[in-house]
Amino acid sequence: MKDNTSWSCSCFSVKLCLLSLLFLTETLVAIKLPPNLKFPALIAFGDSIVDTGNNNNVKTVVKSDFQPYGINFQGGVPTGRFCDGRVPTDLIAEELGIKSVVPAYLDPSLKTEDILTGVSFASGGSGYDPLTPKLVAVISLEEQLKYFEEYIEKVKNIVGEERKGFILANSLFLLVAGSDDIANTYYVLRARPNYDADSYTTLMANSATDFVNKLYGYGVRRIAVFGAPPLGCVPSQRTLGGGLLRECAENYNEAAKLFNSKISAKLDLLHKTLPGIKPVYINIYDPLLNIIQSPAKYGFEVSNKGCCGTGLVEVAVLCNKITSSVCSDLSSHVFWDSYHPTEKTYKVLISLLISKFIDQFV
């Protein structure tokens, strides 16, 4: 299931190529699904990449329900998304023709239609290591599963047992975690001193596999598991671990690649051993690294700093309206704050990946 994604643009002229890139990065057109492939809902678990507001009412510093977060969201409203606009949950759901915004499960204004077409249980700062969410007081994956059980009961009460089973078996489930385990728990906080990178990424991969097994037990069959990104090249990790020149911190990247190889292999094994399951590994590492290393190729200029504040360390509560201004040209930046990509970057990534991983569910 490993997928080394590369990018190429074949144009008759430089001008046409640039126009094509501009169109790709600013718009997403819903893909045409095969006639036998339908996704009634999109449901997400994990961390800040797919958290759409669950942390808003959690007593934690890992929050983003304040300006300038959300400046490019609908009406410029901060919703708890760790981005200037929409995040992968929203963009993928739109691509699949489900809806353009996937709400947080803990959103107090959640409607019946929202429940039936999908929600996010993700919590910024969470991870596969049970210690990771404890360190920053956010919602663990185990707690996310408890909310999911509550969700299943709600779906059953709305549409009945048979339709509930159909929704669980045919919806797209996203699992996005691991970044906070590696970057924060393992490297920055050094909270697992008895583990080396190899044993720690094994702990992560085993936890991720256990989570997928539990989802399968609830009747879930279509599961997309995102690998870890090139964490050492994220602005904050360059600042913390990249030396005076803020180079990519290669030890972070090596740990990310270790985890990715392990979870990919484990998903392959689950595909062979669990009847009917379709677990798909999503290689986010290579395409994001390509964007970071060659930003101009994708219509960006700045890839080593975020747009909020200095772009070196600001994230969550440090990226706020009072202490942090926003760069003058957000569209030129790969990263929004020092840790999370911009909506524009997410659009590029999803355009590169969507058809490849959706094909694996046929």
Over range 187-213, report the average pLDDT.
98
Residues labelled as active-site residues: 48, 337, 340
CA distances from 129 to 54, 183, 206, 266, 288 (A): 19, 12, 10, 17, 24
Predicted local distance difference test score (pLDDT) of residue 31:
65
Using an 8 Å Cβ cutoff, are 93 and 28 in contact?
no
Q: Could you read off the pLDDT of 127-142 as tens digits, one per residue?
A: 999 999 999 999 999 9
With 50 as the cut, is the pLDDT of residue 16 above it? no
pTM, to two decimals: 0.90
Average pLDDT of the segment spanning 59-85: 97
Asked whether the predicted pLDDT for residue 113 surpasses 80, the reply is yes
Q: Could you read off the pLDDT of 154-175 as tens digits, one per residue?
A: 999 999 999 999 999 999 999 9
Sign of the torsion formed by the C-alpha atoms of 26, 44, 203 and 314: positive
The predicted-structure confidence for 311-345, as pLDDT tens digits, reads as follows 999 999 999 999 899 999 999 999 999 999 999 99
Q: Which residue has the tokens 């957000």?
A: 330
Q: For residue 22, what pLDDT is reported?
A: 39
Instruction: Please provide the average confidence, as pLDDT, over all residues in the chain.
Output: 92
